Amino acid sequence: MILHWSEIALLSALVVALVVAGVRVFIGPSLTDRVISLDLLAIAGVSLMSAAAITFDQTAFLDVALLLALIAFISTAAFARYLEKSSESS
């Protein structure tokens, strides 16, 4: 019983984190703020997929979570490289 309610609380908290990060993507004052919030969005998505895999006993969610984590890592590394190149040129 306690495990069921804790799963619901976890999934609810992750959905709230997704909504807050999504709002920050749209109102972020700078490009860096938007990229960081997109990274938070990806982390919350990976956490949500992992929690859903445990809650609903579906291992396919873990594959999606792994793919999302890899894409988030590559995009964050690409943005860091972009910032590095733009700071060298100025």
Per-domain residue ranges of the chain: 33-90
59 close to 53: Cβ distance less than 8 angstroms: yes
CA dihedral 19, 25, 29, 32 (to 10 degrees): 130
6 CB-contact burial (10 Å; exposed 0-12 / middle 13-18 / buried 19+): exposed
Rounded to two decimals, the pTM is 0.84
Express each pLDDT in 30-40 by its tens digit. 888 888 999 99
- Average pLDDT for the chain: 91
What value does the mean pLDDT take over residues 2-30? Answer: 92
**pLDDT(90) > 80:** no
Instruction: Give pLDDT tens digits for 37-51.
Output: 999 999 999 999 999
